[in-house]
Copies of this chain bind each other. A is one copy, B any other.
Amino acid sequence: MSNRPEKPVILADQVRTTLTGLEPLSRKVFLALTPPSSLDNRADVDQLRQNLERAFQSVRVPLSLMPKIPGLCRSSDWKVTATLAETGQGWELIDLEPGDTTPSHYGLAIDIGTTTVVAYLINLCDGTVLGHAADYNDQISLGEDILSRIRQAAEPGGLARLQTLIINTLNRLIKSLRASSLNSAQITAAAIGANTTMIHLLLGLDPASICRSPYIPIVNSPGLIPAGELGLEIHPLAPVYCLPSIGSYLGGDVIGGVLVSGMHKQSSVSLFVDIGTNGEIVMGNEDWLVACAGAAGPALEGGVTAFGMRAEPGAIDHVAIDGKSGRVEYTTIGNLPARGICGSGLVDTLAELFLNGIIDRTARFTQGREEYIVVPAAETAVGKDIVVTQIDVNNFMATKGAVNSAIDLLMENVGCHWQEISHFYAAGAFGQYLPVESAITIGLYPDLPRSAIVRLGNSSGEGARQVLISRSKRLEAETIASQVTYFELNANPSFMEKFVSSKFLPHTDLDRYPSVKERLESRA
């Protein structure tokens, strides 16, 4: 006679979720099942599923797992740990292990930048970062920037090559994070923050339409994809969640940043700015969010300025000019002889040149100069003077102008004034390494009370970590993506007008930079 007795089942996951509040993309549940008998003759798979469905609504058991279930239950005395993954519609059993393995529960938070890829190994029991690894995106070998990657994808076999390159990059990072202590199947979930093009290339989707009017991506919300379909070397059934994009030029990396900032939950208005080769700006509060994006110019990216370089050993990262002696004081990364100037060094240099009157408010060298020697040849590792030229300054002004114009235009469109901005969130490298005072001096950051300037660091990676471990954060990210109104800057005729008029240091309207004005006056 068939019976379905309600035996107590240990749901360690439930207890843990209650304690930590975590709701990761994958869950582990320790179960003490009932050995079948004539009194409880349920089939093994059915018993397992029914027990799981007491805590998880609707659990699919894939056929591929069924063959191992009877043997594993019996050899482990019916004490097993089930790993479940969100399907977007319910849950799927993705693994079954003997005994209680709930303390070994790992996920990946990933930030795929056009240049740099960072992966964080996350303990899904408590959400902590166990380690991180970063490396250049292997796709660089086929093109430095997004547009050249899109062009490469259009070549025969190009899309598959680009996908392989990013998967290889990720698998290398995963391998180094796992080291010898974890096997790949122990990582059972991943979340990814990246721009729309990087997501298309990761998924093997043609990005051609991204840069072609009307700029329609193939997908903004790809849903949950089994890692095995991508070739990611973690558990093949691990769900991979991509932070949703808003469009071709506003990706999940920005949504992740907004999520991390919390600006979408505040009553006061905030600005979120991420500047790389492209710049993305989001403004708003709990009631509304507007955004724009566009090419920001190359000034803050290493490799474009005459002596520009990435923030690597030998890069000049901090610069001060003694007003009286004119002597330059600088530091380099790793205290090595200087090889070039990275972003933070450039911002410092420009601010010091401006404060010392070496360049004027129109960003031109004074006294007939055409360049400025930051480090003389003798002190360098490259055997020649490391200089900042008028061209470098002009490049910077183009970037700053584009950012300022975009912000001004966004504010004008929603009828918002600088006085109303409660927080300025700076994301990415733009929000991690730049010297705050110098960035304000040259008008890259706004001249707000310093406590209102919040640097988020790698908010794309942190956003990925948050959605990896929290269902409500995933819903929040999706709500943000659905709420943002996107402004097409290129389509706006007053953009160029603003762009031209914003080419002053720190800004056309000096009154918007009271602390800089004060400093200039004190130096004069």
Contacts and interface: CB of A to CB of B under 8 A. Distances in A.
Nearest to A37: B214
Interface in A60-107: 60-61, 63-64, 66-67, 69-70, 87-90
A418 interface: no
A205 B67 contact: yes
A225 B2 contact: no
Contact of A38 (B66, B88, B230, B491): B491
A66 B216 contact: no
A222 B38 CA distance: 21
Given A2-B484, A487-B1, A218 B61 contact: no
Contact of A488 (B38, B69, B246, B484): B38
Interface in A201-255: 203-206, 209, 213-223, 225, 229-230, 245-247
A301 interface: no
Nearest to A48: B219
Given A58-B88, A88-B58, A66 B488 contact: no
A216 B63 contact: no
A495 interface: no
A45 interface: yes
Nearest to A220: B43
B205 A41 contact: no
A151 interface: no
A14 to B, nearest CB: 20
Given A67-B206, A89-B90, A214 B60 contact: no
A46 B2 contact: no
A485 B58 CA distance: 24
A303 interface: no
Contacts of A70: 206, 209, 216, 218
A42 interface: yes
Majority-rule SS of A interface residues: loop
A214 B38 contact: yes
Interface string A171-206: 000000000000000000000000000000001111
Contacts of A64: 229
Contacts of A229: 63-64
Copies of the protein in its oligomer: 2
A478 B41 CA distance: 17
A36 interface: yes
A45 B218 contact: yes
Nearest to A74: B209
Contact of A2 (B37, B58, B486): B486
A371 interface: no
Contact of A214 (B36, B49, B205): B36
Contact of A204 (B67, B90, B203, B491): B67
A476 interface: no
Nearest to A46: B220
Contacts of A42: 216, 220
A286 interface: no
A96 to B, nearest CB: 13
A49 B46 CA distance: 32
B44 A485 contact: no
Contacts of A221: 43, 46, 49
Nearest to A4: B482
A50 to B, nearest CB: 10
A222 B61 CA distance: 8
B89 A222 contact: no
A218 B44 contact: yes
A203 B222 CA distance: 30
A106 to B, nearest CB: 23
Nearest to A70: B218
B217 A486 contact: no
A351 to B, nearest CB: 36
B1 A63 contact: no
Contacts of A60: 87-89, 223
15 contacts: A1-B488, A2-B484, A41-B486, A43-B220, A43-B247, A45-B220, A49-B221, A60-B87, A63-B229, A64-B229, A66-B219, A67-B204, A87-B89, A88-B90, A89-B89
Interface of A: 1-2, 36-38, 41-46, 49, 58, 60-61, 63-64, 66-67, 69-70, 87-90, 203-206, 209, 213-223, 225, 229-230, 245-247, 484-488, 491
